[in-house]
Amino acid sequence: MKIAAIIGSNRKDSYNLKLAQFVQKRYADRLEIEIVTLNEVPFYNQDIENEPPAGAAALAERVKKADAVLWVTPEYNATIPGVLKNAIDWLSRGERVMVGKPSWIMGASMGLLGTVKAQAHLRDILFAPGLSSPLLPGNEVYVGAVHEKFNADGDLIHEPTAAFLDQVVHNFMTWYHNHQKGFSNV
């Protein structure tokens, strides 16, 4: 199964990027995860949405080719970062590549609540008509105090989090296979 993992942080040493890379490596036998960063996606502008700039077109193409999208995002000021919202706005227009495309969400932050508010907002956004993305129910991955859970080499060293991710990946795959036929009809 092909997954586009969209990272909500453009930071070079992003913990959310590290989390996505951990998932990519740990489940490589089951999931083909392509990491998608948003550095090259320009600001959305409705004037040019029918001839999108290369960065926005490439993003849509990568999502289109994937069977599902994994959103891995920090929380900025109690919501999702602007770069992520900007990318979502592009994806909601033109071919509307997210419609019927299944999603699941993970997030990491230095705060104890680990992106609870950002993920609540993201779930709401993904239900907007231009997105209409079927979302994995439950299985909410909030990695709080993330700076204590990764070592200097970028490896996740917090066993309970790794064990929880094992369960979530299993649940995602079961959900995907059980509901696959209905996704495109949304």
- The span from the CA of 8 to the CA of 17, in Å, is 8
Burial 146-165 (b: 16+ CB within 10 A, else e): beebbeeeeebeeeebeeeb
Q: 175: which residues sit within 8 A by CB, 6+ positions away?
A: 136, 137
Closer to ligand FNR by CB, 48 or 78: give it. 78
Indicate the residue type of 176: Y
Give the shortest CB-12-to-ligand FNR separation in angstroms.
9
- The span from the CA of 30 to the CA of 90, in Å, is 29
Binding site for ligand FNR (CB under 6 A): 9, 11, 14-16, 74-78, 109-111
Residue facing ligand FNR at closest CB distance = 111
Closer to ligand FNR by CB, 102 or 107: give it. 107
Closer to ligand FNR by CB, 20 or 97: give it. 20
Give the shortest CB-57-to-ligand FNR separation in angstroms.
25
Give the shortest CB-63-to-ligand FNR separation in angstroms.
20
